Amino acid sequence: MIIYIYLFSWSLAGVFGVDEVKSVSVTEGESVHLNSDLTEIQRDEEMTWKFNNIMIAKLNVKDNTIRVYNDSAEGRFRDRLKLDQTGSLIISNTRITDSGEYTVINRRSDTPLNIFSLTVYAHLPVPVITRDCSSSSSSSSSCSFLCSVVNVSAVTLSWYKGNSLLSSISESDLSISLSLPLEVEYQENNIYSCVINNPITNQTTHLDITELCQTCSDVSRIALISAPGSLLIIAAVGIFFICRKHRKTDQEAETVDSGAEISYADPIFYKCTEIEV
């Protein structure tokens, strides 16, 4: 009776096939186990696994053989595929390129036993928060920031205030850089955070307002104060060399005319000395 019930269930699977595609997600580098959903296999059973309709593995119970086609699918699975005795497929050290559709097929009835849609996500970088002085603040008491990530795909970048979502941006393209602005008041508490996430994991960076929030106007003021000082130094150096040249020329002219050398009491020397200081 047990065998009869088993065969009856098997027959239904063979006639109707798979009624849904199972979604599986992992992070790059992890292993994934795709089950055949079989607890018992008949002795004359033969099963195959396909990736995007390309055969990658086969189990033959009658011959007691398991064959993995490591050279299939452009060699992307080389030495990373295994089959267990139930026909389940194990993929180790997953890569982004492993994403796709996996189908296990009963070769006797040529019908799918299971279909998986596998998505392999890249490791997420930690968001970087920087002060944004290029943004014109609407208030002298506020400060602008940028939260940025680089070389990401299929992610969402968000600003949170506590547990409340303030803003977000999503992108599905490959290897793109994202930045999201935020403006806060100087006196606010450090309850802001920037979060990057995909469907299976996330990374968070907390905003330290005390450390990062300097007014851009202060920075500009320092630059304006420093600029005249730098110009004064440059002007003084220029005047020094001009005076030095004139002094040398006057000394040579005086020597030629009278044969006497210019003493330090010469008015020209004092004039240049005053300019030099």
* One fold for 2-121 and 128-213: yes
| Residue 90 pLDDT level (bands cut at 50, 70, 90) | very high
Is pLDDT of 53 > 80?
A: yes
CA 44/CA 108 separation, integer angstroms? 9
Among 61-65, 227-231, 236-240, 264-268, the range of highest mean pLDDT: 61-65
CATH class label, 2-121: mainly beta
Q: What is the DSSP letter of 140?
A: T
* Per-residue pLDDT, 158: 98
The pLDDT confidence band at residue 238, using thresholds 50, 70 and 90, is low
From residue 129, give the alpha-carbon distance in Å to each of 105, 142, 151, 195, 218.
Answer: 50, 16, 16, 11, 20
User: What does the alpha-carbon distance between residue 236 and residue 228 come to, in Å, rounded to a whole number?
Assistant: 12
Indicate the pLDDT class of residue 216, thresholds 50, 70 and 90. low
Task: Flag whether pLDDT at 251 surpasses 90.
Answer: no
Are the C-beta atoms of 197 and 124 separated by less than 8 Å?
yes
- What does the pLDDT read at residue 202? 96
If one compares 174 and 228, the residue with the highest pLDDT of the two is 174
Q: Tell which wins on pLDDT, 223 or 249.
A: 249
Residue 243: φ, ψ to 5°: -65, -40
Percent of the chain with pLDDT over 70: 64
Residue closest to 209 by CA, chosen among 187, 224, 229: 187
Q: Would you state the pLDDT for residue 47?
A: 87
- Which tens digit of pLDDT belongs to each residue from 60-69? 877 778 888 8
Number of helices and strands in the chain (H, E): 4, 16
Q: If you classify domain 128-213 with CATH, what class do you get?
A: mainly beta
The full set of domain ranges for the chain reads 2-121, 128-213, 218-276
- Predicted confidence at residue 61, as pLDDT, reads 76
pLDDT tens digit string along 152-170?
888 999 999 999 999 999 9
More confident residue, 66 or 223: 66
Binned at pLDDT 50, 70 and 90, residue 52 comes out as very high
pLDDT band at 226 (very low <50, low <70, confident <90, very high): very low
The more confident residue out of 47 and 258 is 47
Quickly state the pLDDT bin for 224 (edges 50, 70, 90). Answer: very low
